[in-house]
Amino acid sequence: MPSSPVAPLAHLRPLPSTYAYFAAFIGLGLISASLGPTLPGLAEQTGAELREISRLFLARSTGYMLGSFFGGRFYDRIPGNPVMAAALLIMAAGMAVAPLLPTLWILAAVLLVIGVAEGTVDVGGNTLLVWIHRSRVGPYMNALHFMFGLGAFLSPLVIAQAVAWSGGIRLGYWLLAIYVLPVLVWLGREASPIPEVEQDRDEAIHVNWPLVGLIAFFMFLYVGAEVGFGGWIYTYAVSMGLVGETAAFYLTSLFWGALTLGRLASIPIAARVRPRTILLADILGALASVLLILALPASPWALWVGIFGAGFALASIFPTVITWAERRITVSGLVTSTFLVGASLGAMLLPWLIGQLFEGRGPQITMIAILIDLLATAVIYVALMIYGGQPKRVEK
C-alpha cells in the first residue's frame, strides 16, 4: 500500500483528500447497511433462528466500538490515511468471506472484525475532515455523511439485484467488497492532515470531558434509533404482513434513500442555520414519523410515509452534532473515538434488544422501542443545549 505522509495544511490537497474520504464513506454505507436485508439469508446459511441471528448486530457493534475506541489513538499518533486504507482492506476481506461461513459463531467473529474496521474508518473520516476544514467543516461534514447515506441507500438495491441474478446473497456481498478496493488505493496515495491538537499547540487546550460524555450519550441514543430502523425495518414490514419480501428490500432502501436525501438537503442548510435548530427539527420530525407508524399499524402507506420521514429527519443529526461540538471543544482523535464508542454502543444495544423481544412481543415492539429511544434523545438534546453554552471556537 502506498505510504501517505503527514502534510501541513499549507501543503495538503484539501479537495482530493476530502473526495477520498467521501468515497470511503460510500463504501462504509454500502457495507454497514448490508446486514439488515440479508439477515434472513444469513439465518438460512447458518441454520440459526431469528433470536440467534440478532447476535450478529451485537458482534458487529462490539467490533465497531473497539475500532472507534482504538482508532482515535492511531489517528492521533500516526498518519491517518494509511490507517483508513488498511481498515477498508479488512472490510473488503471480511465481506468476501462472510457469505461462505456455515457456522453462526464464526460468522459473528468475522462481523466483529468487520465492525472494528468500520469503526476505524468512521473515526477517521469524521476526525480527518475536521482537521482539514476546521470551523468551516459544517457543509463538508454533512456531505461526508450524505455519502454514507448514498452507500446505505444503494446497498439493499445491489443485494436485491444480486439475489435476483444468483438466488443468494453471496454475489451481493462480493460486489460490495470489490467497490472498496480502488478507494483504499486512492486514499493511501493522499497526504494525511496533521492532528488538530498539533495545529492548536500554541493555544491552551482543555477538553470538557463531561460535555464529551453527554454528546457520546446523545450519539448512543440517536444511532440506536437509526440502526434500529435500518436493521429491522425489513423484518418488521414482512412480519406485519404490510409488504412482500421483494418490496421490503425497497422499503429498506427507502429509509436509507431518505437519509441520503436529507443529508443532501442539509449541506446548504448547514451553512445558514444554527446546529441547535437543525437538531431540534430533526428530533421532532423523527418522533412524528414513528408516531404515524404506530398510530396506523395496519396501513402500508403510513409505513412508507413514516419510514421516509424518519430517514429524512434522522439524516443530519450525526454530522450536525459533530459540527456543534467542534465549535465548543478541540476535536482530537480521542474525542471523536469517545463519540463513536457511544454511537457503537447504541448500534449494539437497541437492535439486539429488538431482536430479543421481537418474537415474544410481536413486530410492533420495533417501533415502540425506537419511540422510547427518540424521546430519550429529545431529553438529552435539552441537556446539551443548556450545558454546552455558546460557541467558543472562531473561524481561522
pLDDT tens digit string along 140-174? Answer: 887 888 898 889 888 988 998 998 898 888 999 99
Decide if 365 contacts 223 (C-beta within 8 A).
Answer: no
CA distance 12 to 340: 26
Beta bridge partners of 192: 6
Q: Tell which phi-psi region holds residue 123, choosing left (phi > 0), alpha (psi between -120 and 50) or beta.
A: alpha
- Of the two residues 379 and 350, the one the predictor is more confident about is 379
Q: Which helix (H) or strand (E) covers residue 267, if one does?
A: helix 245-270
Q: What is the pLDDT of residue 206?
A: 63
Spatial CB neighbours of 102, under 8 Å, sequence gap ≥ 6: 45, 46, 47
How much is the mean pLDDT over the chain? 85
pLDDT category at 1 given cuts 50, 70, 90 is very low
- Of the two residues 114 and 246, the one the predictor is more confident about is 114
- For the record, the C-alpha cell of 13 comes out as 490537497
Instruction: Kindly state the percentage of the chain with pLDDT values over 70.
Output: 91
- Of the two residues 153 and 299, the one the predictor is more confident about is 299
pLDDT tens digit string along 175-219? Answer: 999 999 999 999 888 888 876 555 444 444 567 888 999 999 999
Which of 254, 229, 21 has its CA nearest to residue 160?
254
DSSP track, 189-238: HSPEEPPHHHHTTTS-----HHHHHHHHHHHHHHHHHHHHHHHHHHHHHH
Q: What is the pLDDT of residue 8?
A: 46
pLDDT tens digit string along 122-142? Answer: 989 988 888 887 767 778 887
- For the record, the C-alpha cell of 271 comes out as 451553512
The dihedral formed by the CA atoms of 41, 42, 43 and 48, expressed in degrees to the nearest 10: 160
| Range 303-310 average pLDDT | 95
CA distance 203 to 336: 20
Q: What is the pLDDT of residue 96?
A: 95
DSSP track, 311-367: HHHHTTHHHHHHHHHHTTS---HHHHHHHHHHHHHHHHHHHHHHHHHHHHH-TTHHH
Rounded to the nearest 5°, which phi and psi values hold at 320? -70, -40
CA distance 338 to 344: 10
Cα distances (angstroms) measured from residue 256 to each of 34, 121, 156, 301, 313: 11, 19, 9, 17, 11
| Range 348-368 average pLDDT | 86
- For the record, the C-alpha cell of 47 comes out as 441454520
| Range 276-293 average pLDDT | 95
DSSP character for 78? S
- For the record, the C-alpha cell of 102 comes out as 456455515
CA distance 259 to 262: 5
Q: What is the pLDDT of residue 202?
A: 43
CA distance 231 to 353: 12
**Helices 245-270 and 317-326, axial angle in degrees (round to 10):** 30
CA distance 57 to 198: 37
- Of the two residues 50 and 29, the one the predictor is more confident about is 29
Q: What is the pLDDT of residue 267?
A: 83
Domain spans of the chain? Answer: 13-192+205-388
Poorest-confidence range of 239-248, 305-314, 328-337? 328-337
pLDDT tens digit string along 65-112? Answer: 888 888 777 887 888 899 999 999 999 999 999 999 999 999 999 999
CA distance 70 to 2: 23
Domain formed by 13-192+205-388, architecture = Up-down Bundle (1.20)
Q: How far apart, in Å, do the first and last CA atoms of the chain sit?
A: 34
